[in-house]
């Protein structure tokens, strides 16, 4: 099984799940498109989706570049921490936005780790 691809697909599905929650929140809180504000609970759901989208731009390339140089199961494990971080972020941000720090850290640290791992491998191979 290609665990890196599995993590990538799960990350995309997670983003789709957050988008569905935003659509649902539009109905529940009567926020008509194209508005992105008007009810705090809707705005929380929307920010989770947007923040996840913003991080995906860095996460997916970092995941695949790191997987070119490091064992897939290690890269996928780091990616799984990202997925967990996004879930923690979603739960904490929608409940109490000030508590989102742990979820954000569990999302950002794996991205940085993947980027550093890729950079170390790329530079290390260039030097030798």
Q: Which residues of 69-92 are buried (b: 16+ CB within 10 A; e: fewer)?
A: ebebeebbebbbbbbebbebbbeb
Whether 34 shows a pLDDT value over 90: the answer reads yes
- What φ, ψ does residue 29 adopt, rounded to 5°? -105, 10
Q: What average pLDDT score do residues 43-48 get?
A: 98
**Dist CA 128 CA 91 (whole Å):** 46
Q: What percent of the chain has pLDDT over 70?
A: 98
CB 25 within 8 A of CB 42: yes
Q: How many CB atoms lie within 10 A of CB 111?
A: 23
CB 23 within 8 A of CB 17: no
Cα–Cα distances (Å) from 43 to 23, 31, 93, in that order, read 11, 10, 10
Q: What average pLDDT score do residues 100-127 get?
A: 95
Q: Rounded to an integer, what is the distance from CA 66 to the centroid of its chain?
A: 16
Which pLDDT value is given to residue 35? 96
Whether 46 shows a pLDDT value over 90: the answer reads yes
Q: Rounded to an integer, what is the distance from CA 79 to the centroid of its chain?
A: 9
pLDDT band per the 50, 70, 90 thresholds, residue 125: confident
Nearest to 103 by CA among 84, 88, 91, 90: 88
Q: Please report the domains of the chain, with CATH numbers, ordered by start residue.
A: 3-127 (1.20.120.550)
1-32 residue pLDDT tens: 899 999 999 999 999 999 999 999 999 999 99
Q: Rounded to an integer, what is the distance from CA 102 to the centroid of its chain?
A: 13
67-109 residue pLDDT tens: 999 999 999 999 999 999 999 999 999 999 999 999 999 999 9
Which pLDDT value is given to residue 128? 57
């Amino acid at each position: 099984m290609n665990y890196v691809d599995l993590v990538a697909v799960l990350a995309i599905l997670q983003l789709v799940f957050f988008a569905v929650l935003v659509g649902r929140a539009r109905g529940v809180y009567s926020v008509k498109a194209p508005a992105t504000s008007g009810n705090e609970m809707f705005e929380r759901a929307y920010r989770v989706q947007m923040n996840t989208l913003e991080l995906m731009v860095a996460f997916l390339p970092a995941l695949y570049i790191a997987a070119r140089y490091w064992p897939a199961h290690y890269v996928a494990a780091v990616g799984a921490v990202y997925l967990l971080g996004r879930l923690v972020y979603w739960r904490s941000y929608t409940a109490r936005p000030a508590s989102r720090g742990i979820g954000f850290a569990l999302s950002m640290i794996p991205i940085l780790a993947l980027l550093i791992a890729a950079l170390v491998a790329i530079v290390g191979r260039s030097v030798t």
